[in-house]
Amino acid sequence: MPLTNIRPTAELQALDAAHHMHPFTTNASLAAKGARIITRGEGVWLTDSEGARILDGMSGLWCVNIGYGRERLAEVAARQMRELPFYNTFFQTSHVPAIELAAKLAEITPGDLNHVFFAGSGSEANDTNLRMVRHYWSLQGKPEKTIVISRKNAYHGSTMGGASLGGMVPMHEQGSLPIPDIHHINQPYWWGEGGDLDAETFGVERALELENAILEHGADRVAAFIAEPIQGAGGVIIPPDSYWPEIQRICDTHDILLIADEVICGFGRTGNWFGHQTVGCKPDIITIAKGLSSGYQPIGGSVVSDRIARVIDADEFNHGYTYSGHPVAAAVALENLRIIEEEKLVEKVRDETGPYFQKKWKSLEDHPLVADARMVGLMGSLALTPDKGARAAFASEPGTVGFICRENCFANGLIMRHVNDRMIVAPPLVISKDEVDTLVERAWKVFDLTLARLKDEGLMKAA
């Protein structure tokens, strides 16, 4: 018997509207039209309460890397719940799933990233990072090294620390953020902000903003720089090739710790185990979550270098979550990593589906509404534009066109997300070439429908 779709859709929607506050949603407008209710998942496909099948181009929220419906993960979770559903790791105690998962993570992460502090989510892990880097410098006799530099339009989570590290203005506007000693430099978004510069010159220029910020505050005040190897929620912003080597040089020169937020880029998404391998940098800490368990259980963490662990481990770190290393979540994450390895999903993304999808995705630039269709591994985005030659934005409020496009996607059996007027995809890593074809065909049709509506409503105007 299905677990969820017992009541009629309208009744579920009414209850949802009455009692459920959705994240990042104007709940009043959602209540007026009713939420779409998702009831099942299999591979890359979702089913809703009306029986419609939808191709999930977003892996849920960038997390269901191994696809839906994996019996093995259900089995492992049930077995672990029977054996030991919970125990903490505070009281000089440990348990098998946390030990095995930490060891596995040390094995698959490069270099001397060998130590894991577990959290329940990516946001929590970034809160850990913030406290850990400040504590690290304090233990080294440099308590004034507290500033963390991040980037505008970054996403690092929704807790007070995570949202402060993030660079989303609408988030900062609610709840008096950012908290002190967090500064934001500009993002390396060439298509939208590069002006007349060529992409590589622009990439260096944006990286040098980090150096300028360090010099402005003084290197003796700056603890760390945090960034996603490729910005996800900001719109899949793929930086110019010149950007990351310059960032690495600056962090090394000024002895600033580098935190790579791998919550989206990790676990095969970019065609390597981790995004920092794809862009070529050497972080001191990486943030993990999402693909760590393919979303089957909530779990995140910070993987920390020998250099940092040596210092932090010498003292009591007054920090931890009840669910740090939760046994069921850890057991499921471990099994997820085994599946990624057994099915060679990282290699498959790098050598087969990634290159195939990139070619198809690029072909969408032939559509009159589309420009800047780029992809790394299996994360991609494109710009909707009224005038691609001019790299023009729409005259309408940013996001107006993207929202119309996303609604058309949803109505046509495809999930893509919009960030302002960019459309983004990040399908499960198990997507087949046939399914890529289906996704791209549906996207083309959606762009046709969107273009027709923009013309009807007089929205095909450049800013």
Binding site for ligand PLP (CB under 6 A): 121-123, 126, 155-157, 228, 232-233, 261, 263-264, 289-290, 300
CA distance 373 to 358: 9
Please, what is the minimum distance in Å from the beta carbon of residue 151 to ligand PLP?
A: 11
Closest C-alpha to 264, from 169, 155, 185, 124: 155
Instruction: Confirm if 110 and 277 have CB atoms less than 8 A apart.
Output: yes
The residue among 234 and 386 lying less far from ligand PLP, judged by its C-beta, is 234
Please, what is the minimum distance in Å from the beta carbon of residue 8 to ligand PLP?
A: 31
Please, what is the minimum distance in Å from the beta carbon of residue 66 to ligand PLP?
A: 17
Closest C-alpha to 229, from 257, 188, 179, 195: 188
The residue among 127 and 335 lying less far from ligand PLP, judged by its C-beta, is 127
Please, what is the minimum distance in Å from the beta carbon of residue 157 to ligand PLP?
A: 4
The residue among 261 and 335 lying less far from ligand PLP, judged by its C-beta, is 261
The residue among 151 and 367 lying less far from ligand PLP, judged by its C-beta, is 151
The residue among 290 and 442 lying less far from ligand PLP, judged by its C-beta, is 290
Instruction: Confirm if 144 and 220 have CB atoms less than 8 A apart.
Output: yes
The residue among 97 and 300 lying less far from ligand PLP, judged by its C-beta, is 300
Please, what is the minimum distance in Å from the beta carbon of residue 208 to ligand PLP?
A: 23
Please, what is the minimum distance in Å from the beta carbon of residue 378 to ligand PLP?
A: 15
The residue among 3 and 21 lying less far from ligand PLP, judged by its C-beta, is 21
Q: Judge if the upstream peptide bond of residue 23 is cis by omega within 30 degrees of 0.
A: no
The residue among 41 and 122 lying less far from ligand PLP, judged by its C-beta, is 122
CA distance 172 to 168: 6
The residue among 13 and 294 lying less far from ligand PLP, judged by its C-beta, is 294
The residue among 157 and 271 lying less far from ligand PLP, judged by its C-beta, is 157
Please, what is the minimum distance in Å from the beta carbon of residue 156 to ligand PLP?
A: 5
Instruction: Confirm if 280 and 274 have CB atoms less than 8 A apart.
Output: no
The residue among 95 and 290 lying less far from ligand PLP, judged by its C-beta, is 290
Please, what is the minimum distance in Å from the beta carbon of residue 233 to ligand PLP?
A: 5
Please, what is the minimum distance in Å from the beta carbon of residue 192 to ligand PLP?
A: 19
Which residue sits closest to ligand PLP, CB atoms considered? 122
Please, what is the minimum distance in Å from the beta carbon of residue 119 to ligand PLP?
A: 8
The residue among 168 and 233 lying less far from ligand PLP, judged by its C-beta, is 233
Please, what is the minimum distance in Å from the beta carbon of residue 301 to ligand PLP?
A: 11
Instruction: Confirm if 50 and 412 have CB atoms less than 8 A apart.
Output: no
Please, what is the minimum distance in Å from the beta carbon of residue 447 to ligand PLP?
A: 26
At 208, list the tokens. 């040098």
At 252, list the tokens. 């090394």
3-state SS, the chain, equals: CCCCCCCCHHHHHHHHHHHCCCCCCCHHHHHHHCCCCEEEEEECEEEECCCCEEEECCHHHHCCCCCECCHHHHHHHHHHHHHCCCCCCCCCCCCHHHHHHHHHHHHHCCCCEEEEEEECCHHHHHHHHHHHHHHHHHHCCCCCCCEEEEECCCCCCCCHHHHHHCCCHHHHCCCCCCCCCEEEECCCCHHHHCCCCCHHHHHHHHHHHHHHHHHHHCCCCEEEEEECCCECCCCCECCCCCHHHHHHHHHHHHCCEEEEECCCCCCCCCCCCCHHHHHCCCCCEEEECHHHCCCCCCCEEEEEEHHHHHHHCCCCCCCCCCCCCCHHHHHHHHHHHHHHHHCCHHHHHHHHHHHHHHHHHHHHHHCCCEEEEEEECCEEEEEECCCCCCCCCECCCCCHHHHHHHHHHHHCCEECEEECCEEEECCCCCCCHHHHHHHHHHHHHHHHHHHHHHHHCCCCCEC
